[in-house]
Chain A
């Protein structure tokens, strides 16, 4: 049965569209975009005062299945994604077993087909067991559906190994996603090195530990010609390095998380709230400003959440031993609306670029456009909805959000994946 999205503001920067019009979805595809459309027998969804855009993609999530299903699994993680307005996610390989070979990629593809609310794109490991020692079977994983490769959670410490990886990946034009962390410099670091680490007596993690690795990886991308994507960029120095790499014409892209954009180290207080323990850590205010500037000027291509669910018993540990990470899928869009749209720092086209168009380009996955013939992966946003971030708000199994207790503005109201409605009036459709 056809669906008519009536009277929304339809935004798709990839085709230069920003106009109030109707969108008709039928049989998994967008069949018509235009004004005052009439479709016999269609389900009509009123979209006045709402935004209609290509389905959002989160290119950096941890679904935790297999191995850590108490934190999250494919079913709950993709419910959370739908709730957050996403039609697709890319899943990092640090599961147990680690997703470092074709059969593990196939497992995730099959599990997602059975239980996923939204599309799941596996990311394979760069090295066997994320150990940084041996190449993985890139060709085999690509054949099973992997869209990129990363040792996320671990920086590849050995420069020779990273060069080998990039040389090898290059033959397939595979994307290497770098988690940039020089372990010797980080040491036991758990918060940004500076005022907060000093005041709270916590081991510091210097910004240079990221800058140095990004510098190296950009240089290796230049050496090998391999496509490089920088995961969760967090420092002013890194932003500048990516800016220079792009100016040089190198094949380098970058993502930033909402928590690095909208929080800084000052959020970590004498309460030692472990929901604010991230890898990389929340940085200084000047870093945060540089990230916003880098996003607005196009240096940073994508907003990705690094959705990292953990069990409450794990986050209840002492700050130094609690695991790194915060959930992100369900708060990302409301945070962007609250902090960038409502403050008129960004346009809806910008949001569509950062959260829908660019992640697809970087990952080279299914082209989605709001035009006739395209696959109907569509997100409808209610910019006036109010979101109270309470533990009950989450569809994720975990509530370790850095934004607990915040009140945010704006939220996805409808989500279509391949024409199938998975979110309706802000509620996940069962």
Chain B
């Protein structure tokens, strides 16, 4: 059992919770390698995917996770415009509450929206990404992948490269790494750093090349190419030259260092095709871990200990 009812902020979890989720995910991953990938664990429980911001990858991953645990998974679409006239998120929460669902996964473009849900319903909540804030199951699947490939988490040096200021992935991953005893370094031009990166618990570097030899993991973030506020760097070309992962840079890393990316990639921008498709790239392993980790999170939140077939 987890020490929390919801997974909204990675820091809702204790270090023990994280270890429990990763261990549980390991056994679920084994299930996912069977021919019949289904457990009866959450039969009769209702899991709602409330994706108010498009994300095929994350939604599919959660859907698969729910299906493999035999939960009734439903997609609930609601208005994303928070207006006085339209239905608000609070209204949506009340509606879902009336439908007596057990677990809601919410993806929303505004930070804090999962917390808002908890004020209007009793279901368990998993944050599937809220604005620029957090995406805790992404952090968990990243930890899972690092542990699996490198054999440990404690003492790893992880460089997170790119748009730190707008990244909910970084928002969860940095504190998660701190919780498991790893050393996060955020690496970006100052225009892509948040106001107080130290508040997340990360070291800060503005040169990828300087820290490259220290890294066990180079975690490349997706660069958003169009922005309302104006481009935070002069050109994609200059960004790729300074902060892109390519074969030359990979060669300067430790021999067993790995490269990760939360997807979807801009090939040739934050990561070259050669690196993305190399054996050092963990991108597909991350996707694979995602289903198992989300199964573990759902299973543990819904207190599936009654028929703990996993483990």
Q: Is A318 an interface residue (CB 8 A)?
A: yes
The majority secondary structure among interface residues of chain A is loop
- Do B111 and A319 touch across chains, with their CB atoms under 8 A apart? yes
Task: Given the known inter-chain contacts A318-B89, A321-B82, please indicate yes or no for A197 contacting B110, CB distance below 8 A.
Answer: no
| Cβ-defined partner of B196 (8 Å) among A187, A198, A271, A318 | A198
Residue of B nearest to A70 (CB): B84
- Do B195 and A319 touch across chains, with their CB atoms under 8 A apart? no
Near A by CB (< 8 A), chain B positions 200-239 give 200, 229
Residues of chain B within 8 A of A35, CB atoms compared: none
Minimum C-beta distance from A321 to chain B (A): 4
Q: Is A270 an interface residue (CB 8 A)?
A: yes
- Do A198 and B194 touch across chains, with their CB atoms under 8 A apart? yes
- Do B199 and A195 touch across chains, with their CB atoms under 8 A apart? yes
- Do B84 and A314 touch across chains, with their CB atoms under 8 A apart? yes
Q: Is B124 an interface residue (CB 8 A)?
A: no
Q: Is B9 an interface residue (CB 8 A)?
A: yes
Residues of chain A within 8 A of B275, CB atoms compared: none
A320 CA / B110 CA spacing, docked (Å): 6
Minimum C-beta distance from B150 to chain A (A): 28
Minimum C-beta distance from A360 to chain B (A): 37
Residues of chain A within 8 A of B113, CB atoms compared: 318
- Do B199 and A319 touch across chains, with their CB atoms under 8 A apart? no
Minimum C-beta distance from A237 to chain B (A): 16
Q: Is A204 an interface residue (CB 8 A)?
A: yes
Task: Given the known inter-chain contacts A270-B9, A272-B111, please indicate yes or no for A316 contacting B168, CB distance below 8 A.
Answer: no
Interface size class for chain B?
A: 20 to 34
A-B pairs with beta carbons under 8 A, tally: 79
Return the CB mask of A162-188 against B: 1 if under 8 Å, else 0. 000000000000000000000000011
- Do B88 and A313 touch across chains, with their CB atoms under 8 A apart? yes
- Do B195 and A197 touch across chains, with their CB atoms under 8 A apart? yes
A201 CA / B136 CA spacing, docked (Å): 13
Minimum C-beta distance from B250 to chain A (A): 30
Q: Is B130 an interface residue (CB 8 A)?
A: yes
Residues of chain B within 8 A of A195, CB atoms compared: 195-196, 199
- Do A317 and B88 touch across chains, with their CB atoms under 8 A apart? yes
Return the CB mask of B116-154 against A: 1 if under 8 Å, else 0. 100000000000001111100000000000000000000
Q: Is B190 an interface residue (CB 8 A)?
A: no
Q: Is A200 an interface residue (CB 8 A)?
A: yes
- Do B194 and A317 touch across chains, with their CB atoms under 8 A apart? no
A195 CA / B200 CA spacing, docked (Å): 8
- Do A201 and B133 touch across chains, with their CB atoms under 8 A apart? yes
Residue of A nearest to B81 (CB): A321
- Do A321 and B195 touch across chains, with their CB atoms under 8 A apart? no
- Do A202 and B88 touch across chains, with their CB atoms under 8 A apart? no
Residues of chain B within 8 A of A199, CB atoms compared: 196, 199-200
Residues of chain A within 8 A of B197, CB atoms compared: 198
Residues of chain B within 8 A of A153, CB atoms compared: none
- Do B133 and A318 touch across chains, with their CB atoms under 8 A apart? no
Task: Given the known inter-chain contacts A271-B115, A318-B89, A318-B112, please indicate yes or no for A201 contacting B132, CB distance below 8 A.
Answer: yes
Q: Is A203 an interface residue (CB 8 A)?
A: yes
Residues of chain B within 8 A of A188, CB atoms compared: 229
Residues of chain A within 8 A of B88, CB atoms compared: 313, 316-317
- 22 interchain pairs (CB within 8 A)? A187-B229, A188-B229, A193-B195, A194-B199, A195-B195, A195-B199, A197-B195, A198-B195, A198-B196, A198-B199, A201-B131, A201-B168, A202-B132, A203-B132, A270-B112, A271-B115, A313-B88, A316-B90, A316-B116, A318-B111, A319-B111, A319-B112
Further pairs besides A198-B199, A318-B110, A319-B110: 17, Cβ < 8 Å: A193-B195, A195-B199, A198-B196, A198-B200, A199-B200, A201-B111, A201-B131, A201-B171, A202-B131, A202-B132, A202-B133, A270-B8, A271-B115, A317-B89, A317-B90, A318-B112, A320-B131
Which residues of A are at the interface with B, using a C-beta cutoff of 8 A?
187-188, 193-204, 206, 270-272, 313-314, 316-321
